Amino acid sequence: MCMRKMRDVMLKWVLWYVMLLVCWISNIAAAPPADANISGNCPQTCGNVLVPYPFGFRDTSAAQAANKPTCAMNDAFMFTCNSTYSPPRLYFDTGMRIENLSVQEGTISVRTNEAFDCYNKSGKARSSDQIIRLREGPFRFSDTRNKFTAVGCDTLAFMTDAEGTFLSGCFSICLENNTMLEGSCSGIGCCQTALPKGLKTLNVSVTSVNNHSNVLSFNPCGFAFLADQRSFKVSDLRLSDYPYSNLTKDYATSDFVIEWVVREETCEAAQLSSDGYACGNNTHCTFSPNGKGYRCLCKAGFTGNPYLPQGCQDIDECMEPQKYPCKGSCKNTIGNYTCRCPLGMHGDGKSGCQGFRITTIATVLGAVMFVSIISVLILIIWKKRIKEKNFLENGGKLLKHQRVRVFTEAELAKATKNYVTSQLLGEGGFGSVYKGVLADNTQIAVKRPKDMDKTQLNQEFQHEIAIVSQVNHKNVVKILGLCLETTIPLLVYEFISNGSLYQHIHQKKSQILANWRNRMKIAAETALALDYLHSLANPPIVHGDIKSANILLDDQYTVKVADFGASMIISPNQSNMVTKIQGTFGYLDPEYLMTGNLTEKSDVYSFGVVLVELLSGVKPNSNLVMRSEEKTNIIQEFLSSLENKNLSEILCFNVTDEEMEEIGVFAELAKRCLSNSGVNRPTMKDVTEELGRLMKLHQSLWAQQNSKETENLLGDDSSSYLPIEIETTKMKQPDTYTLNMTTFDF
């Protein structure tokens, strides 16, 4: 009886163990391999392109159309594989063929058609704009890998987004029918410009100033496209065969890069999200500022696909001795490995093992200490020599004799708390601006260049120094000094505390702009600064990017004109300059857009746009829907209101009848500034004098109002008025060399 019970108990234990073993084996068989998609029957490649998870694709063949497994994380990551080609081709969207998918870099390399514009002796023969719309989801054009590029001998190319929030482009010409392009796209046969961050749509158009009439014999076309800087080589192109001269072949294609993120949220938010965290085991999360979302990467010592549920797997370093050297006994550990020297040998095992006698240990230790001390001394001397070299290369020998403060690298690092993100004021294509506080409590703004080509950055720096060395005016942001110890110099400016006119008009309920007189004061002080640049700077300067975002206000609400990044010096006997078109959509002079000639009258037009912005409170690049339900912009609406004598309908502030007369004169001045022809626009000197006369027109009335407001100084309205101290007389050019400049907006 006892034997039977013991046998039954043993049988139950054996059956239970077998069931556990079967479950364990089935779980192993069901787990997806390290490089597979989530679904076991998902295809891995489309033609020559590897498609790892979180991506997937649907095949165009009938067999695949009937079987649609869950191969992608979501529909945004599902692509199309066209099997009618040999080999098959993978498509992001219609007309956009995928060349490569990278999980590690978070990029998609795409090939698409280029915009082009071709001519023959009769005129335009063929043309096509390029319109790229990325699908809904976490995708952006890469601002670090791509550059907007134009190729041709008489080619003017533009790019903008679907909303029209920006406009940029470049101009390419040729000299004496050269068929070979230079080594870089510098404007001769090829030109390039950068993309802004966060771009999802792109409209590209190409035109010609002279219809290619002077180069039809070897180059009748102009092309514009996005170019991946890793694969694009301008030296491989010849203008005689690119674009196609016979105008019968299909137009060319180009490669560009799309950046992607898993979801558009931070790593911290993703880990707490109910939608699930996409990163698997042994991974870490990284945030992409371009897509404003997160991606996943394997931790050091691990490899595989970080988006699979099992995540990344440990690397067995002992199995790859060429990549992970070990001269002793190798032992794999999770995420790393150890290497021990054989018995009787010493060393770390990875770089080598040596045998020692006890009597030689002291000698070896002494030698190590001696070498360490010498190495430290050499490192200190080397760093000092590097700083001295940078100082001299950046013009320190000349600048140290001028009236400009030279900061040390350590001094600015301390002032900006080592350039922490919380001190960041703004950034652009050239670099970033950080707020800092010096030891004497002086607030500063430090302009720090990005990690770009040193030659290009030095050219930008020299250009900026050439501009600011001419400027000395109370209504222009001043430069306080330089740091020449770094590879690319750092520029230090005064810190402007009350933000920009753009913020006061569009982002704040600003009491400063609640009344007419303060708006008038801001316009007059801005005009004074521009008149100084055009008339008294030696040589004269064209600002090139006048807009409300570049008109700053200090703690006393005095105007400080900023940003000379697009400025140009006017040489003697030179009235205009052909430049790469740059600026801000809505403020750009239409004559400048058509010809590429930047003149003082280009600044006058942009200033006229700012005057309309002060009156209406509407962004110049905004579309308006009027009563007729037709779209228009504020400039057109402003001119229409003047013609129909209903100017008061577009004003964004309350005015009296007396002030309305002044506003009418102010508006007529703005209208003259906005003339399509630069010849018909007034000079900034005329504008300054007109605004000065207008401010004195009712000076006695303002004095009476100010007397009444002084009696109620503690009232709600007292803080909304600024002191009127506008001088229409010109300042004398300083005799000493003083650096004064801008800028927080690149």
Q: What is the set of active-site residues? A: 545
Question: Which run of H or E residues covers position 100?
Answer: strand 96-102
Quick one: tokens of 501?
A: 């006119």
Q: Is 447 annotated as a binding residue?
A: yes
The C-alpha angle with vertex 736 and arms to 734 and 738, in degrees rounded to 5, equals 85
CA 573 centroid distance within chain? 36
CA distance 347 to 101: 43
CA 607 centroid distance within chain? 25
Task: For residue 103, give the nearest of 279, 262, 305 by alpha carbon.
Answer: 305
- What 324-329 contacts at long range (C-beta under 8 Å, 24+ apart), as own/partner pairs, is 324/350, 325/350, 325/351, 326/350, 327/351, 327/352, 327/353, 328/353
Residue 623 pairs in a beta bridge with 633
The C-alpha angle with vertex 703 and arms to 701 and 705, in degrees rounded to 5, equals 70
Question: Which run of H or E residues covers position 414?
Answer: helix 409-415
Cβ proximity of 441 and 415 under 8 Å: no
Question: Which run of H or E residues covers position 223?
Answer: strand 221-228
Residue 141 pairs in a beta bridge with 258
CA distance 644 to 650: 12
List CB contacts of 421: < 8 A, sequence separation 6 or more. Answer: none
- 3-state DSSP assignment of residue 395: coil
CA distance 400 to 316: 57
Q: Where are the beta strands (DSSP E) in 403-530?
A: 405-407, 424-427, 431-437, 443-449, 479-483, 490-494
Cβ proximity of 338 and 326 under 8 Å: no
Cβ proximity of 110 and 258 under 8 Å: yes
CA distance 599 to 135: 41
- DSSP letter string, 348-386: -SSS--EE--HHHHHHHHHHHHHHHHHHHHHHHHHHHHH
Check residue 252 and report its DSSP letter.
P
Binding-site positions for ATP: 447
Annotated binding residues, written as ranges, equal: 447
